[in-house]
């Protein structure tokens, strides 16, 4: 299955600043997904990043707050803008695992963000 | 009502015990079902897909009841290394969107 590298693995940021998280996949993939896992909670899909088009955002998430880039088939970035302590979370990049059946996802190790 | 509901636990069991986790989902259009495992401070990893006929992988057995919108995971002969959070995951139709349950925490003790 695909190997996903995410960075930074963790960061501590000040309120009001922005952080960009990078996701690199070792193979070409059509769709990449960005999830958030808040402390003690399960995963929530933020958006689906498609190469060559705008990302598709889930209810409750907007492009101004979470701009996403997808410049090619192996790379994506998620920016958390104008951060507040409520944005403290783990952000995970994922892709579909080819050949394992539809919808099976593999995840990056995650980026643990703490906003002070 | 949450789209995917699980008992959060924690389930504390001795080594060798059999333990069962249950999960219910609300959307009857759901098409694919999975159990993921998440170790502390790690990313989720696929444990097994769940098929209508039920399926087994070693000590792990998954069952799906579409009529009741219910999924289960049975772990036999629990090992210390089984300690983790188990996430019930459901896909919505052909959207590819996955909905994650809150997870059930298992702690296997010697």
pLDDT tops 90 at residue A72: yes
Q: How far is B90 from chain A (nearest CA, A)?
A: 9
Which of A21-25, A32-36, B61-65, B95-99 is predicted least confidently?
Answer: B95-99
Give whole-number Cα distances, B8 to A42, A53, B29, B73, B85, in Å. Answer: 11, 38, 25, 14, 9
pLDDT above 90 (res B105): yes
Is residue B94 pLDDT above 80, yes or no? no
For A41, the closest of B32, B98, B102 (CB atoms) is B102
Q: What is the mean pLDDT of residues B50-67?
A: 93
A13, A91 Cβ separation under 8 angstroms? no
Contact criterion met (CB < 8 Å) for A45 and B96: no
**Mean of the per-residue pLDDT values of chain A:** 93
**Residue in chain A nearest B105 by alpha carbon:** A40
| Model confidence at A102: pLDDT above 80 | no
Find the CB nearest B32 among A48, A58, A102: A102
- Measure the CA–CA gap between A107 and A68, rounded to whole angstroms: 17
Q: What is the pLDDT of residues B20-36, one digit of tens each?
A: 999 999 988 888 899 99
Rounded Cα–Cα distance for residues A62 and A65 (Å)? 6
């Amino acid at each position: 299955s695909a190997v996903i590298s995410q960075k930074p693995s963790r960061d501590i940021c000040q309120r009001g600043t922005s952080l960009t998280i990078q996701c690199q996949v070792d193979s070409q993939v059509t769709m990449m997904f960005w999830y958030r896992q808040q402390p003690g909670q399960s995963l929530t899909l933020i958006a689906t990043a498609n190469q060559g088009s705008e990302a598709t955002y889930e209810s409750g998430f907007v492009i101004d707050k979470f701009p996403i880039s997808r410049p090619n088939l192996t790379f994506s970035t998620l920016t958390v803008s104008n951060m507040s302590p409520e944005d403290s979370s783990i952000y995970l990049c994922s892709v579909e695992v080819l050949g394992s059946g539809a919808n099976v996802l593999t995840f990056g190790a995650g980026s643990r963000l703490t906003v002070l | 009502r949450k789209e995917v509901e699980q008992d959060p636990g924690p389930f504390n069991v001795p080594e060798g015990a059999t333990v069962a986790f249950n999960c219910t989902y609300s959307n009857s259009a759901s098409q694919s079902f999975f159990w993921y495992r998440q170790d502390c401070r790690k990313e989720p990893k696929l444990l097994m897909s769940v098929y209508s006929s039920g399926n087994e992988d070693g000590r792990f057995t998954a069952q799906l009841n579409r009529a009741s919108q219910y999924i289960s995971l049975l772990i036999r002969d629990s090992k210390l290394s089984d300690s983790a959070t188990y996430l019930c995951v459901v896909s919505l139709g052909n959207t590819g969107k996955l909905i994650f349950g809150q997870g059930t925490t298992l702690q296997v003790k010697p």
